[in-house]
Structure 1
Amino acid sequence: MTERPPRRRLSREARQAQLVAVAERLFADRGFEGTSIEDIAREAGVSRTIVYAHYATKDDIFVACVRQARAELEDRVREPEILIEAGADARTVITRAGEVFFGILERDPRRWMVLFNPSTALSPELNAQLTELREQTITRIAGMVRHLGTFDDERSLAFAYAISGVGEQLGRWWLTRPDIPRSTVVAYYRDFITPGLDLR
């Protein structure tokens, strides 16, 4: 009888990456309330004990998913910031920002859904954590707005919230119309936002 080879033990970092990848897919497919720790363990091929060794609650692993997805977004936000530093105009910067944002949606709709399709089942504590993460991105957008126009801090922040909201809603609409090219969606985004940033 052939002996089964011993299962290779993953490092802590590798195991967490595996669990987050599985959880992200389940949260996107089933929603937060439709996903349990047991589901994540089963899909990952591990026991619930292993999951709990890394994430004490389902909230914790959901936050880990959001942090990972938002880290990619934060990293890509650097691209329009570089354009601003080079003296690009608002139209060019917003076009690039749209390409980054909707490019993430096109490449990985599940990850985008985890980021921008929150559930009403989330606890107040979890919502507070997610709001804090979202506001970190909005603060960076406000910084870009401030450099694109002669806006004070209050107006820059207000515009940043509006820009974020436009992107999220346009993204949800695009998910229902996947036949529309990304370039068209980016153009809609740019043409809606740029006039406000051109005001002096």
Structure 2
Amino acid sequence: MNDSQQRGSERAQARRAELIAVGRKLFADTSYDALSMDDIARHAGVAKGLIYYYFSSKRGYYLAIIEDAVAELVQRAGSTHDLPPVERVHHTVDGYLRYAQHHQAAYRAIVTGGVGFDADVLAIRDRVREQLLTAMARAAWGRTDLPPVARTALVGWLSAVEGVTLDWLARRELPRELVCGVLVRALGDALRMVEEYEPACPAPERTRW
């Protein structure tokens, strides 16, 4: 690839990222069905054909926005490699809640499966759950190969996290720090249970967990 092609590719990537950023804001305030491609193009300040060029369809645009949201959520949850185990757990849970708090529409779409029963969004949701399980396993044990009992415990805990987070966003009764503490405490209980069944996965040491 020559310099001109490289610059063209970078401009295309930047324009695509700009359109996704606009879409994230739009879908945060307006339902999927209420937004037409004309509406999206008007808000983005571009010709409708440009959106079709990058995303093929409104659905393709929506899925690209969800994929972008997933990438950010996983990045936030997994950026803990240089911290001790307990701090990694706190950082991971707090990063998850921060993302949900500041990107509520995207979070709800990820967790609940998007618009109706959308198989593609559900596949994205399943993938992000696997990535979050990996991030949590790394945070708790510094490993990603999970024995069945450890995986079962983390899946159960993550399902509870999703339910608690959705309820917290709907009610807004508690500060994020308190919700984080509750979820971390619940994770500590789960990790201690895992240790009883699987000594190869000991719970991180902490006086009060």
Mapping of 1:40-189 within 5 angstroms? Answer: 40-83=40-83, 86=84, 88-89=85-86, 92-124=87-119, 126-127=120-121, 129-141=123-135, 143-144=137-138, 147=141, 152-189=146-183
Q: Which residue of 1 aligns with 2:35?
A: 35
Counterparts in 2 of 1:59 and 1:50: CA distance versus 1, 3 Å: same
Any conservation in 2 of the 1:138–1:161 contact (CA below 8 Å)? no
Q: CA deviation at 1:54?
A: 0.4
Quote the RMSD (CA, aligned, Å).
2.9
Counterparts in 2 of 1:154 and 1:119: CA distance versus 1, 3 Å: same
- 2:34 alignment partner, SS class: coil
Q: CA deviation at 1:195?
A: 0.5
Structure 1 length-normalised TM: 0.75
**1:83-104 Cα deviation digits (max 9, x unpaired):** 3xx4x34xx4432222111122
Q: Which residue of 2 aligns with 1:3?
A: none
Counterparts in 2 of 1:171 and 1:77: CA distance versus 1, 3 Å: same
**Which one has more relative contact order, counting CA pairs under 8 Å at least 6 apart?**
1
- 1:34 alignment partner, SS class: coil
Task: Structure 2: state its 5+ residue gaps.
Answer: 1-9, 196-209
Figure out how many residues of one structure are paired with residues of the other and give that number: 184
Percent of aligned pairs with the same residue? 19
- 2:127 alignment partner, SS class: helix
User: What letter matches 2:28 in structure 1?
Assistant: A
Task: Structure 1: state its 5+ residue gaps.
Answer: 1-9
Q: CA deviation at 1:139?
A: 4.4
Q: Take 2:147 and 2:31, find their aligned partners in 1: how far apart are those partners?
A: 36
Q: Take 1:195 and 1:114, find their aligned partners in 2: how far apart are those partners?
A: 29
